[in-house]
Amino acid sequence: MNPRRKKRLTIILAISTGVAAAIGLMLYALSQNIDLFYTPGELVQGKGPDKVKPEEGQRLRIGGMVVPGSVKRDAQSLRVAFDLIDASGERVTVTYDGILPDLFREGQGIVAQGTLEDARTVAAFEVLAKHDENYMPPEVADALKGMQHYKPEYTEAQLQGSKS
């Protein structure tokens, strides 16, 4: 192999190794920041066909309905604890230290971002409430179908009638 080809091969290998290392580091950094969405039922029973459960300390997003009568406020601080429920009937406790959104109320659909403390407790660092009566995040709407508070825009009969 002549010296010119050897030099080109070395440069190509060095660039390829550098690109592979950069991609590997990016994927590792992104895996630390991925927040997976769970419903209370998925959190307790597992998600997907393999029933995969998140690990304690894992960052996640959880969405569901705030159980009426479950909101407990600490008198000395901004700490709040409340339960979430979904169509499966599983309850998960969310703790939050901060000011809740103005639209937060019992019986309302919310999404909380935080870390899993144990199998049924999430320590939230952000709580999001729906912004008006017509909007619900798609993940929460899918998770809450079948619950008594959920009111779909159209019934199945109306959808069938409009297709014919």
Angle at 130 between CA 44 and CA 74, to 5 degrees: 65
Task: Evaluate if residue 17 carries a pLDDT over 60.
Answer: yes
| Record: fold of 36-151 | OB fold (Dihydrolipoamide Acetyltransferase, E2P) (2.40.50)
What pTM was estimated for this model as a whole? 0.63
For the CA atoms of 14, 16, 17, 23, the dihedral, rounded to the nearest 10 degrees, stands at 140
Evaluated on CA atoms 101, 102, 105, 111, the torsion sign reads negative
In this predicted structure, what is the pLDDT of residue 134? Answer: 59
Q: Which pLDDT score, from 0 to 100, does residue 35 have?
A: 64
> How is residue 56 written in tokens?
């304690």
Give the pLDDT confidence score for residue 160 in this predicted structure. Answer: 46
Check the annotation: does 149 bind a ligand.
Answer: no
d(CA 146, CA 62): 18
Q: List the domain boundaries for the chain.
A: 1-33, 36-151
pLDDT digits (tens, 9 = 90+) for 61-111: 999 889 999 999 999 999 999 999 988 888 999 999 999 888 888 888 899
pLDDT tens figures, 108-159: 889 999 999 998 999 999 999 865 555 566 766 776 666 655 444 444 444 4
Q: What is the predicted pLDDT for the residue at 97?
A: 93
3-state class of 160 per DSSP? helix
SS3 22: helix
62: nearest Cα among 139, 146, 163: 139
Q: Which pLDDT does position 142 carry in this prediction? A: 72
On the question of pLDDT at 13 being above 70, the answer is yes
